[in-house]
Amino acid sequence: KAGVTQTPRYLIKTRGQQVTLSCSPISGHRSVSWYQQTPGQGLQFLFEYFSETQRNKGNFPGRFSGRQFSNSRSEMNVSTLELGDSALYLCASSSRPGLGKERTGELFFGEGSRLTVL
Amino acid sequence: KQEVTQIPAALSVPEGENLVLNCSFTDSAIYNLQWFRQDPGKGLTSLLLIQSSQREQTSGRLNASLDKSSGRSTLYIAASQPGDSATYLCAASEGRAYAETSYDKVIFGPGTSLSVIP
């Protein structure tokens, strides 16, 4: 069973540009969440998508956005990049077995996309 | 507001020692507590997940316990090896285990950096 796949693994951008990151969850998982990891702030929650709808959002500016497709693959976009956006962006998938069924909420992470903004 | 802390921030031990990593959370209304391992520049690897109805979970040389009333979880590593060197993070999940569309909120601790000396 393939794990969570994130692309690209590494990218370098300049201030003012925009970037799109992609995440393919584990087959059958319908929930995808995104996190930003920096040495100073640690792991911070960006947003979660389930069934193509954003279900929860962290405290990030509107420059950070995302979407989820019908096959559960997700993308996140950062516009007007700033130096402080340099970080490791991690995607996690989780299963939701259905109403009435207990779920574990276990998160499975990809290897991340390392973004450097110059 | 949920806050997750981890003590110690860094730990260096000789190979073969048993060790305990600590995780504290301020709000006991969680439905699971998950421990992860992260190697430098990599994503997070799930180690153990404890549901709120459970007290502990074991996997090989790892044992994790959960005490919701005191807001604490511990990760016990037996007979440490150099390959255990990594950063260990705990994460508390707020949400509802039986609701398909529960708006989960996962709060991560800052991590404990473990170094096992051969």
Give the tens place of pLDDT for each residue, A76-97. Answer: 999 999 999 999 999 999 886 6
| Residue pLDDT, tens place only, B1-48 | 889 999 999 999 999 999 999 999 998 888 889 999 999 888 999 999
Q: Which of A46, A109, A113, A114 to mutate to test the interface with B (most CBs of B within 10 A)?
A: A109
Highest mean pLDDT among A1-10, A98-107, B25-34, B55-64 belongs to: B55-64
CA geometry: angle B59, B60, B65, nearest 5 deg: 45
Q: Do B43 and A112 touch (CB under 8 A)?
A: yes
pLDDT of residue B23: 97
CA geometry: angle A77, A78, A82, nearest 5 deg: 165
Confidence check: pLDDT of B99 > 70? no
pLDDT of residue B30: 87
At CB < 8 Å, which residues of chain B contact A?
31-32, 34, 36, 41-46, 49, 51, 89, 91, 93, 95, 97-101, 103-111
The answer to whether A102 faces chain B, any CB pair under 8 Å, is: yes
| Residue pLDDT, tens place only, B44-96 | 999 999 988 899 999 999 999 999 999 999 999 999 999 999 999 999 988 76
Which H or E run includes A48?
strand A42-50
B15 CA to chain A: closest CA distance, Å?
27
A101, closest residue in chain B (CA to CA):
B98
A31 closest CA partner among A58, A8, A54, A65: A54
Mean of per-residue pLDDT scores for chain A = 91
